[in-house]
Amino acid sequence: MGMASAYVIVAEYVTSVSKPNWARMVQCCVPSCNNRNDINKTISYYRFPLDENEKRRWLKLIRRKDFTPNYNSRVCGWHFPHGKAAGPTRFAWNEGKAFPHISQPTKRQKKMLLATVEDEGGAEPGPSHLGTAQKTPSSSSVLVLEIENEMLRKENDKLKKELEKQKQTFSFSQISSHPDIVNYYTGLPDAATVLFLETLLSKFDLQYHFDWNVQKMPLIDQLLLTLMKLRLNCGLVDLSVRFNCCRATVTNIFITISSALYDILYVGMMENKIPSRFKNQTSLPHCFQPFPNCRIVLDCTEVAVSNTESLDTQSHVYSHYKGGTTLKALIGVAPNGFITFASDLYGGSTSDKAITADCGVLQQLEAGDMVMADKGFTIRDILPAGVSLNIPTFLVNGQFTMEEINHNRLIASARVHVERSIQRLKTFHILSYIPYQYKKHANKILKVCVSLTNLQTPILREIA
């Protein structure tokens, strides 16, 4: 051995013994990982970050929350399949699982990740307790994983939105394809009629009753809620559970939509617009042929209301005919069965004659018109000049004459269809009993029900 070679050997020995222990051997501090730099020399070893939040995240990921890392503590590079910026994510306890825990990188980390992917390649040994070295994911597999994660996140967001919709246990889409069910819940013949009303409402400037808008529920379902209240008189709790909203929202929707329907259907299409007798003659049914000049058939109907009023008010609304507190309205029906007039509601004790004189129907009659009514309408003396009244004959001498019998039979056969129209109106069960909180809206509720009744199929087949 020459003198130069001896000097080299001595220098290497002196250098090795002069290095501190930490410089000669570094071991990964992750539990169950035995990687050391003297065994796996191709692995990098990373110090813990100086940022406290990032350091706590690393400790949580490696499952050593109570460990206090020092300057010499290291985590081997095998635990960083996506680079140091993403943090340690691969461990013995999740290796080989279908969905190992992968923290979601920030935008900055994603940029660093892409840069790392471009530089990565080859093989990287795993922990020594796992045996032979394992391959690091290639750049293509990492990108595929990122794409799959993004797709899963989008799918998850979509499912969350669908779940939010499913919380509303009842909606128009569930019944729209079944006309009989639509008719049961709304009183309208089919889904097309309901959608027609939605179109009208969509063009109307809705002013919500409580001054706050209902945004989460679609307009078609707000309309359905209102129609269900009118048709079935469902309770507030029932509707709030069905439509996944509070009772205040139910009231807000019902009063708002019913008021809008009143303005659109009654005020816009029916108010002060009783068809003339000449127009009636264009669709006069066979049973009205003996009465070609009939302009309107009058009758009254009563609506039960809450009796939480003073004694004086109760006496005004008490109906001896119904035996309870009611409100009464005058209904006018054309010979073809179409309801053409509805008065405001009066106290149940108000007479038919008083309502007829006060409600404004007489002001729309003209000379030559004929009014048909029941016996209780003794209104001949208050009719405008030239307007005639046709009511059943009163029994005077103990027996009807043949002429009176025929006259009464003709009137009865004509009026039966009018009574059927009023019975249709009463199938909107809110008119069976109007709750106290809706009493001040009773006039609008009645007239909306009248308008909806006219949207049903015609009573007379010959008219249809």
What separation, in Å, do the N-terminal and C-terminal C-alpha atoms of the chain show? Answer: 123
What is the predicted pLDDT for the residue at 164? 65
What is the predicted pLDDT for the residue at 150? 81
Choose among 87, 74, 94: nearest CA to 34: 74
Q: Does the reported pTM lie above 0.85?
A: no
What is the predicted pLDDT for the residue at 130? 46
Which of the two residues, 442 and 108, has the higher pLDDT score?
442
Q: Are 456 and 280 in contact (CB under 8 A)?
A: no
What is the predicted pLDDT for the residue at 31? 87
Query: What is the DSSP code (8-state) at residue 326?
Result: E
Neighbouring C-beta atoms of residue 110, cutoff 10 Å? 15
What is the predicted pLDDT for the residue at 389? 93
Instruction: State which of 26-30, 90-94, 228-232, 434-438 shows the largest mean pLDDT.
Output: 228-232
User: Per-residue pLDDT tens for 136-192?
Assistant: 555 556 676 777 788 888 888 888 777 665 566 789 999 999 999 999 999 999 999
Phi first, then psi: give them for residue 167, nearest 5 degrees.
-65, -30
Mean pLDDT for all residues in the chain: 82
What is the predicted pLDDT for the residue at 356? 94
User: Per-residue pLDDT tens for 292-351?
Assistant: 999 999 999 999 887 655 545 666 777 766 677 889 999 999 999 999 999 999 988 899
Q: Are 431 and 232 in contact (CB under 8 A)?
A: no
